Amino acid sequence: MIETTTINFGMVNAFLIKGENGFILIDTGIPPLISKLEKELRKAGCTKDDLKLVIITHGDMDHVGNAITLREKYNAKIAIHEADYPMVRDGKPLKRAATGFIWKLMSRAGEKPGDPNPAFEVDLFLTDGQRLDEFGLAARIIHTPGHTPGSISILTDDGQLFCGDIFANRRSPSLAPLIENSEQILASLQKIKQAQPKIIFPGHGKPFFGVALEDIKA
């Protein structure tokens, strides 16, 4: 089993994976919690030159917040899907319709649509089907748009799926409460079902088993 650590920031998760020649971090949390992130990296034995890659599942602030610091301090490469690149290049959050109820949910989850993004450059783009073996990780990228245009999931060969905000699991597994394109998110749900992940780690909430995908409705 590929060794993964969930870094729980309270309102959002990041994930640290031990690869064959260093560590891969999936998402970065929010800037006020950088010390918590660094503590977790230290605890896992990830020092300055060991962080090989930072994968951003999508361009929302609570996922990209510490990317700049990680690049500066750890010399880590930052990777994102091209379709979300403008969100970080320009530091502009994506505008999505959110109802009052959804707004409240997202605020509680630490993700307020409209929070400013930090602006930064990235080192590489990830595309659908791309393998991560060159970074020491037996896994591939699945482009799963719908929450944002460039949302990606990472599926390890042993069946662990890191899905960003396509799904959340607060009380029960569900589609993202904040949807940019509902047709796309349903197509992404189908795509993920076909990939048959064993366990799914969402950006918000607890992990859940792949069989629970059958109960997720539009």
- Residues numbered 156-195 forming contacts with Zn ion, rule: CB under 5 A: 165
Nearest to 152 by CA among 95, 217, 82: 82
With beta carbons less than 8 A apart as the criterion, state whether 51 and 23 touch.
yes
> Would you say 117 or 160 has its CB closer to Zn ion?
117
Torsion sign across C-alpha atoms 17, 137, 144, 83: positive
Among 40, 60, 84, 180, binds Zn ion (CB under 5 A): 60
Residue nearer to Zn ion on the CB measure, 46 or 79: 79
For Zn ion, which stretch binds (CB under 5 A), given 54-62, 152-160, 184-192, 194-202?
Answer: 54-62
Per the DSSP assignment, residues forming a β-bridge with 125 are 80
In the complex, minimum distance from the CB of residue 164 to Zn ion, in angstroms, rounded to a whole number: 7
Q: In the bound complex, what is the minimum distance in angstroms from residue 58's beta carbon to Zn ion?
A: 5
Going by C-alpha positions, the residue among 55, 67, 104, 59 that lies closest to residue 85 is 59
Q: Minimum CB separation from Zn ion for residue 45, in Å? A: 29
DSSP state of 81: -
The binding site for Zn ion (CB under 5 A) comprises 60, 165
